[in-house]
Each structure stands twice: as structure tokens, then as C-alpha cells.
């Protein structure tokens, strides 16, 4: 299997009988998910997506990606949250976190519209000068402020650069099939567009055109990603713990949570796992953090962060458990050479590869952290490939859903995200928020009270 769950480092923290005790809750969560009887069941389109996806849409994505590759030096993905994190994670995992700096015949890919930074936008405009550029604006609602602002600026940039008609050929839209401002604009202007299925929420949308178009532009094989997800979908059907690692992972998280482990740190020992850890955080935080419940998802790249937050993990409050992503077959590798007179005192490493040293760092860390009271779950990834990526994405998506139902919350909504937007709109004077504006401005003057 491309993803394997290893639980041996949980031994001091979870006893065997605890799995038996939690089994009925796992089974209930798994069952209501499959019967579509749980809260948020209108958003379960992702569950059988790998066996149901629209083959013509995939063909259209591949053709569009080819067209973008042929015509552009720079491809800009405009979106926020679930509308960009999956694509970024996949490209970093499959290609590199240094993708834009590698020698390649695919366009550089930049992500914008995921903040409200004038500096970030200005820098990217500068980077685009004298380059051939295409953009993909992605928004399910079609009305997200961050995305809309960046789209407006880059649409105008393309129109100025190429003229209105030619710019149209460089603007690609991914949004709801029927509703939202972006759909309306796309249909009116005649942009090439892709549909986000109604029943798939943003953070579950990486295997739809939301993620697949940018991933295809990077040159990755998107059918292989879907194949990996399909096999995961088949493998995680059993409603038990021993033959379904998705359920087992959800069970472990829940047992640890009840023991006061309030933070899950997703750890990778390779920088190109950084994007995956960011995608994971959004998936679990927006899905589980509700009704004053949930495990806070955090992330780290080791050994980098062992020199920053490592002290806290080892010795600080005992509220953390780690889930470590380990890659079995990783290439290329580098062998450390013997040096004359052992001048750098590294001859004890001579003949060893950097990956081997990294593995020993992992082994040393896992033992130290478990000694320090930090449970470690290990997820062994077979390799870096499209197939493994698809399998892993589906694994986390389904585990998150089962886990959310075990917590007794709706894993598919995000009511908490609206609070800041309401205040921001009011403070910006958006029509309809006049009363709130007055009240908020008063509060700002009175030190927030």
C-alpha cells in the first residue's frame, strides 16, 4: 500500500483495549458517513469522486494545461483556502518546493489572492513584466474578497498587456456551474471555465478542477492521482479498525484528544512536504474546530524545526502528539565523502547518504519525543508519486470526516470563518453593514470593548 500506518510508538500511550472501547464510535461515524445520514451530508461528493469523476472534464483540463504550457512563462493561481492549498501542496510534493527555480519546460506557477497584501500583488506584477502570463481564478462562491481583488488586478493587467480579446484566451475560471458573480462574469465574457461540483466543499476539492488544472500545468499526471484516490476509496470501505487505517487513525486521534492531547503536529522530514502540511492544517482545522471542540492542527518540517520549536515539543506542556510523514523511497541521494585528516570531524558519516542520516534523525527524534511524553503516529509513504499523493489525499479526507463525526460536529461547514468577514465588510463601508460599522468603530476607539 502506498500509505501505511505504523503505531508502535503509541504503545506507552494507548493500550490495546482502548481500541475496543472506541470501536462502536468509529463504526457509527463510518456508517453515518457512508449512509449520508450525518450533518453536512449535502457535501459528500468527494466520497465517491475517484470512481465517479467526469472523464471529459479531465480531458479538457489536460488540453487546457497543454495550451497554458505552450503559451505561458508564468501561470498564476488566484484563490484562497481550499481554492489553492491542495494544488500548491501537490505541486510541491510531486515537483519541489523549489519548482519555480528548477530547469523545466512548464511555466512557473505563482499563487496570489490568498492574502490582502499590496506588497505581494505588486511583486508578482513586477515578476510578470515582459513575460507571457495566464491566470486561473478559483472560487466556489465566486465572491471571496481576497480572490476577487487579485482577480480584478490581474485581469486588468492582462487586458492592458494583450488587449481585451486576447486576454480572454489567458483567463481560466474555476467556479460553481451556475451560481455566483464569477460564474456570471465568466459566462458573459466567454472565459474557458471549469465547474466545482455543488456537493464538494473547498477543502475537499483538490481532486476536482480546483486542484487538477494547476497540477496538470506543472506537468504532473492527474489521472494517476485519481487512480491512487480510487484505490484508497476501495481500501477504506471496511467498517472496522484493524483493516481500515483511515478509521484507525481517526480512532487514535480521538483517544489521544480525550487524554488531553489538544495539538496534532504533522511532521515531514522533507521540505517538499511543507505544502501537504499546510493543506492538512486547513482540512482538519476548518472541519473539526467547532462548538469549542477539536484538535488544533499544527505542522513542522524536521530537522529544521527541531532547532526552533523542538524544545517545546520535548519539554513543554504535554498537549501535543505528532503524526510523522516518512517517505520510504526518496531520490536523488548524496553520499558524504571521506575528508583528509577529518578536518570537519564528519568522517564518522563518510560513505553514508544524506537520506540515511535524515532517517537516523527521525529515529532519534521519535524516541526522544516519546520519552518526553509525546505520542508519535507514523504514516509511511511508499514514494513520491502521483499515485501515492492521490492515495494520501483521500486517506486524510476520509479520516477527517470520520474523526469529525466522532467529535459530534459537522465536518463540512465553516460558520466561524464568517465572523472576520462581517466585521471587515462593515469597516470598509459595504452596503448593508451600516449599523455594524458604527458599533465596530466605537469599539475600536474604546480599546476593543
Instruction: Identify whether 123 is a catalytic site residue.
Output: no
Instruction: Identify whether 369 is a catalytic site residue.
Output: no
Q: Is 170 in the site for ligand PA5 (CB under 6 A)?
A: no
Instruction: Identify whether 421 is a catalytic site residue.
Output: yes
Q: Please identify, among the stretches 139-147, 266-274, 300-308, 380-388, the one whose residues bind ligand PA5 according to the rule CB under 6 A.
A: 139-147
Q: Is 30 in the site for ligand PA5 (CB under 6 A)?
A: no
Q: Is 141 in the site for ligand PA5 (CB under 6 A)?
A: yes
> Quick one: which of 108, 203, 290, 369 contacts ligand PA5 (CB under 6 A)?
203
Active-site choice (8, 55, 307, 431): 307
Give CA separation, 307 vs 197, 219, 285, 365, in Å: 43, 35, 26, 12
Q: Is 185 in the site for ligand PA5 (CB under 6 A)?
A: no
- For the purposes of burial, counting CB atoms within 10 Å of the CB of 221, is it exposed (0-12), middle (13-18) or buried (19 or more)? middle
Q: Please identify, among the stretches 196-204, 222-230, 309-317, 353-361, the one whose residues bind ligand PA5 according to the rule CB under 6 A.
A: 196-204
Q: Is 286 in the site for ligand PA5 (CB under 6 A)?
A: yes
Residue pair 350/403 in contact (Cβ under 8 Å)? The answer is no
- For the purposes of burial, counting CB atoms within 10 Å of the CB of 423, is it exposed (0-12), middle (13-18) or buried (19 or more)? middle
Subset of 52-91 contacting ligand PA5 (CB under 6 A): 80-83
Q: Are strands 376-383 and 3-6 parallel, antiparallel or unpaired?
A: antiparallel
How far is Cα 285 from Cα 262, in angstroms, rounded to an integer? Answer: 12
- Least distance in angstroms from the C-beta of 232 to ligand PA5: 20
Residue pair 138/77 in contact (Cβ under 8 Å)? The answer is yes
How far is Cα 201 from Cα 414, in angstroms, rounded to an integer? Answer: 10
- Least distance in angstroms from the C-beta of 193 to ligand PA5: 14
Q: Is 330 in the site for ligand PA5 (CB under 6 A)?
A: no
Q: Is 144 in the site for ligand PA5 (CB under 6 A)?
A: yes
> Quick one: which of 64, 72, 114, 147 contacts ligand PA5 (CB under 6 A)?
147
Active-site choice (238, 352, 421, 442): 421
Q: For 97, phi and psi rounded to 5 degrees? A: -70, -15
Active-site choice (92, 264, 286, 397): 286
User: String of b and e for 125-156 (b: at least 16 CB within 10 Å)?
Assistant: eebbeeebbbbbbbbbbbebebbbbbbebbbe
Left if phi > 0, otherwise alpha if psi is -120 to 50, otherwise beta: which for 160?
alpha
> Quick one: which of 2, 197, 202, 289 contacts ligand PA5 (CB under 6 A)?
202
Q: Is 401 in the site for ligand PA5 (CB under 6 A)?
A: no
Q: Is 390 in the site for ligand PA5 (CB under 6 A)?
A: no
Looking at the DSSP assignment, which residues form a beta bridge with residue 194?
Answer: 174
Q: Is 398 in the site for ligand PA5 (CB under 6 A)?
A: no
Q: Is 414 in the site for ligand PA5 (CB under 6 A)?
A: yes
- Least distance in angstroms from the C-beta of 182 to ligand PA5: 8
> 83: closest CA among 180, 227, 167, 185?
180
Q: Which residues are catalytic?
A: 286, 307, 421
**Which residues of this protein are in contact with ligand PA5, per CB under 6 A?**
80-83, 139-141, 144, 147, 201-203, 286, 414
Amino acid at each position: 500500500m502506498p500509505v501505511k500506518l505504523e503505531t508502535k510508538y503509541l504503545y506507552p500511550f494507548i493500550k490495546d483495549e482502548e481500541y475496543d472501547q472506541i470501536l462502536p464510535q468509529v463504526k457509527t461515524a463510518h456508517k453515518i458517513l457512508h449512509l449520508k445520514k450525518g450533518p453536512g451530508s449535502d457535501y459528500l461528493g468527494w466520497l465517491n469522486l475517484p470512481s465517479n469523476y467526469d472523464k471529459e472534464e479531465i480531458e479538457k483540463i489536460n488540453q487546457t494545461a497543454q495550451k497554458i504550457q505552450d503559451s505561458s512563462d508564468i501561470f498564476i493561481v488566484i484563490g484562497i483556502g481550499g481554492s489553492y492549498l491542495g494544488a500548491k501542496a501537490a505541486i510541491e510534493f510531486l515537483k519541489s518546493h523549489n519548482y519555480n527555480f528548477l530547469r523545466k519546460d512548464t511555466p512557473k506557477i505563482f499563487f496570489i489572492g490568498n492574502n490582502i497584501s499590496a506588497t505581494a500583488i505588486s511583486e508578482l506584477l513586477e515578476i510578470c513584466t515582459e513575460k507571457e502570463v495566464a491566470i486561473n481564478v478559483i472560487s466556489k462562491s465566486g465572491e471571496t474578497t481576497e480572490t476577487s481583488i487579485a482577480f480584478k488586478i490581474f485581469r486588468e493587467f492582462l487586458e492592458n498587456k494583450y488587449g481585451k480579446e486576447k486576454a480572454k484566451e489567458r483567463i481560466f475560471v474555476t467556479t460553481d456551474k451556475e451560481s455566483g458573480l464569477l460564474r456570471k462574469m465568466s459566462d458573459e465574457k466567454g472565459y474557458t471555465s471549469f465547474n466545482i461540483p455543488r456537493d464538494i466543499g473547498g477543502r475537499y476539492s483538490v481532486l476536482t478542477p480546483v486542484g487538477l488544472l494547476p497540477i496538470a500545468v506543472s506537468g504532473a499526471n492527474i489521472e494517476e492521482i485519481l487512480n491512487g484516490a480510487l484505490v484508497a476509496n476501495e481500501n477504506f470501505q471496511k467498517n472496522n479498525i484493524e483493516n481500515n487505517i483511515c478509521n484507525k487513525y481517526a480512532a487514535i486521534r480521538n483517544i489521544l484528544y480525550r487524554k488531553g492531547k489538544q495539538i496534532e503536529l504533522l511532521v515531514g522530514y522533507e521540505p517538499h512536504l511543507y505544502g501537504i502540511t499546510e493543506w492538512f492544517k486547513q482540512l482538519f482545522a476548518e472541519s473539526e474546530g467547532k462548538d469549542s471542540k477539536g484538535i488544533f492542527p499544527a505542522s513542522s518540517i524536521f530537522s529544521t524545526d527541531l532547532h526552533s520549536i523542538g524544545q517545546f515539543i520535548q519539554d513543554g506542556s504535554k498537549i501535543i502528539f505528532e503524526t510523522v510523514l516518512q517517505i520510504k523511497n526518496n531520490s536523488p541521494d548524496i553520499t558524504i565523502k571521506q575528508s583528509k585528516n577529518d578536518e570537519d570531524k564528519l568522517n564518522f558519516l563518510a560513505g553514508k547518504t544524506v537520506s540515511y542520516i535524515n532517517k537516523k534523525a527521525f529515529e532519534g527524534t521519535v524516541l526522544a519525543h516519546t520519552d518526553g511524553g509525546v505520542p508519535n503516529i507514523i504514516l509511511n509513504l511508499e514514494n513520491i508519486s502521483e499515485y501515492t499523493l492521490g492515495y494520501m489525499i483521500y486517506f486524510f479526507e476520509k479520516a477527517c470526516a470520520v474523526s469529525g463525526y466522532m467529535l459530534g460536529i459537522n465536518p463540512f461547514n465553516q460558520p466561524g470563518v464568517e465572523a472576520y468577514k462581517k466585521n471587515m465588510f462593515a469597516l470598509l463601508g459595504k452596503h448593508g453593514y451600516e449599523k455594524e460599522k458604527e458599533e465596530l468603530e466605537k469599539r475600536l476607539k474604546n480599546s476593543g470593548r
